Amino acid sequence: MRRSTRVDNRFDGRKAIVTGAGSGIGRATALRLAAEGAHVVAIDVAAEGLTATSELAKAATGSGLVSVRVADISDETSVAEGVTAALEELGGLDVLVNAAGILRSAHTHELALDDWNQIIGINLTGTFLMVRQCISALLESSHAVIVNFSSTSASFAHPYMSAYAASKGGIQSFTHAIAAEYAKQGIRAVCVAPGSISSGMTAAPGIPDDADFTWFGRLTPALTPPPTDADIDIPGMGGPEMVAGAIAMLASDDGAFITGTELRIDGGTHM
């Protein structure tokens, strides 16, 4: 997987947890933070994906700066156990990146309640559970940052994705709330809102067979994306490292005056 050129060691001595790190943007983010010196605990529900992330990190950095832990972020007990173990290993926490999420598509009138609850449970409730479990440790850091994942679907019409859009809109509002609540205590909270990024999620979104595909002709980036060697490369879409680089900026001291907002990363798709 391609990594952006390392400019400096912005995360030397810093400790990070990245969820969804078994693939896609979560993996790219874990690798980017480790490349800049962070000790990262990568969390995902997929053990095989985490193993691949760890191997990529060792090959790229020659160190064990990325360790892995299997956990289900939608399960309160799993989050408590996973974060507790991660904090014991790290000895503290400076950065939490909540990249884990799922996408399911359907006509809204045909969307099963179980599917709705699963999407909300993983994307929105999972983000809440991770933040709640990590707040105490972040309050002890002088560089505390939470980066949550919204989506362009939170602000723009993406049909057949109503549950996903609702979950991402909720994450965006949640992020604004915690940014205000903890600003005076030294925690920054920001959102990234990716769009038109190659990943397993965008490669197989499950669009209904009878969908109006003219909608999706609007989801073409204005910019030509740089080459990527990500596992999934969808022509015309940006690679996950495009988002990882922005997260590294937001989570470092370069983003020290940024909180309570979101950064859209979509190559100009929604200008």
Phi then psi for 177, rounded to 5 degrees?
-65, -45
Q: Radius of gyration over alpha carbons of the chain, in Å?
A: 17
Sheet of 15-19: strands edge to edge? 66-70, 39-44, 15-19, 95-98, 145-149, 188-194, 262-265
Residue type (1 letter), 64: G
User: What is the distance between the alpha carbons of residues 239 and 21, in angstroms, rounded to a whole number?
Assistant: 15
- Per the CB < 8 A criterion, the answer to whether 179 and 250 are in contact is no
User: What is the distance between the alpha carbons of residues 112 and 110, in angstroms, rounded to a whole number?
Assistant: 6
3-state SS class at 107: coil
3-state SS class at 15: strand
Is 160 noted as a catalytic residue in this protein? no
Task: Give, in order, the Cα–Cα distances in Å from 85 to each of 65, 68, 89, 116.
Answer: 16, 11, 6, 30
Per the residue annotation, which of 164, 167, 228, 262 is the catalytic one? Answer: 164
Task: Give, in order, the Cα–Cα distances in Å from 1 to each of 28, 224, 228.
Answer: 8, 19, 7
- Per the CB < 8 A criterion, the answer to whether 97 and 247 are in contact is yes
The pair of structure tokens assigned to 56 is 């990529």
3-state SS class at 39: strand
3-state SS class at 164: helix
Torsion (CA) 26, 32, 33, 35 in degrees, nearest 10: 140
Closest CA to 26 of 51, 50, 58: 50
Indicate which residues carry an active-site annotation.
164
